[in-house]
Amino acid sequence: MASYRFTAITPTGETVRGTTVAATEAEAVAWIRRQGNIPMRAEPSGGGLLEAGLRFEVGRLSRSSLRRQEVTNLTRELSVMLGAGQDLDRAMRFLVETAPNPRVGRVLDGLRAAVRDGSTLNAALMRYPDSFPRLYIGLIRAAEAGGDLSSTLERLATLMERERALVTTLQSAMIYPAMLSLAAIGSIVLLLTKVLPQFVPLFEQNGAALPKSTQFLITAGNILSSYGLFLLLGLVLLAVLARQMLRQERTRLVADRAMLRLPIIGLLMREVLAARFTRTLGTLLGNGVPLIAAMGIVREVIGNLAVLGAIDHATESAKGGAGLSRTLDKAGIFPARAIHLLRLGEETAQLGTMALRAAEIHEEQVRVRVGRLVALLVPIITVIMGAAIAGIVSSLLLAMLSLNDLAQ
């Protein structure tokens, strides 16, 4: 018998931690289930050399953790294999043999060995917390309890693919504006530090009274040439300081609320958060996870503290039988369309289905809004870049004209 530390979710959605004594990890997980809780993690507890060994093992596993796309691919392949009638052991063996690299192969081989030793798949996944998130393990656990592993893996793969597509849409759309901004900044810095200084000796030799705009640009160029590296280091330090400040809950909450209130970016973030919330909630409910427990797991995929507060209030409201949509509507964070579809799902007892429908709508809205944002940003950056360069050239021409006037 050994002692196991565990983390579980109660039927009311609360997270509990404790220890239990069992012969194996599978027995510890079974004991947690008998208490009416949903086990999320169970691992041996100990001290001295044993604890040090466990820390070493965790570090070793974290270095061999899987990327999100790799987890998505193996989830899709496993769902196809099980859907074709293969048993879990044979499907896992196929994944091990076709692993794209040794790192993925080691994780898959460890999972297959644990399953062959009698462990459930969700208990085996708990050994790799850096590769498989809480949401993933929770859905697999619900699927094994309901005997619907193949369909659940397919839904999981779809969920992860949609999440990846959403992130990719945002990242890809921002590449061109970012490159254009870098080109604009580089052009301006080049003009101020390399081109404009070539004319300074000419101005000084003739003793001409330079326009104020030209004097300002010359001073700015001198500052960039002399202290440019220090200014860059200062910006990096400010970014690090801001990141540290955002780790404080109070500062992060203020920043998250402010982001949601921005005119264009705020609307886009609301659509993204609504799509993520409804997609995850709908997937969990569709796999038989109770509403309160599902809300506890949904918190793991929401990165905005303002939204987390609204979700917590909605969870408390649901515990009292008041439903989710009314409380979420009062928070004023999610778009009205998401609230309407969630309310309709509650009224028709199809909350999971309507949540997935809302996710599809908001994912499409994200793509539309990102396209509009890029279409707006590109000309704005181009105009600003052109105006800045035109201003520098105009100031230089004004100085040259003053030299002509002096010569005449």
pLDDT, residue 237, reads 94
pLDDT, residue 1, reads 60
pLDDT, residue 54, reads 35
Reading the chain (408 residues) residue by residue, the pLDDT tens digits are: 667 777 776 766 666 777 777 777 767 777 777 777 766 667 776 543 333 333 333 333 344 578 888 888 888 888 888 888 888 888 888 888 888 888 888 888 888 888 888 888 888 888 888 888 877 887 787 777 767 788 888 888 888 888 888 888 888 888 888 888 888 888 888 888 888 888 778 777 766 667 788 888 888 888 888 888 898 899 999 999 988 888 888 888 888 888 888 888 888 889 988 988 998 888 888 877 888 888 887 877 787 888 888 888 888 888 887 778 888 888 888 889 999 999 999 889 899 899 999 989 998 888 888 888 888 888 888 888 888 888 888 888 887 777 665 555
What is residue 334's DSSP assignment?
A: S
**Residue-range domains of the chain with CATH:** 2-56 (no CATH), 68-161 (1.20.81.30), 258-369 (1.20.81)
In this structure, what token pair is assigned to residue 52? 């040090």
pLDDT, residue 28, reads 76
Rounded to 5°, angle at Cα 110 from 140 and 63? 95
pLDDT, residue 234, reads 92
* Its pTM surpasses 0.75: no
User: Which residue bears the tokens 């030799």?
Assistant: 205
Distance CA(94)–CA(114), nearest Å, equals 16
Give just the sign of the alpha carbon dihedral 150, 152, 155, 161: negative
Tally of CB atoms within 10 A around 63: 9
Give just the sign of the alpha carbon dihedral 276, 279, 282, 286: negative
pLDDT, residue 354, reads 93
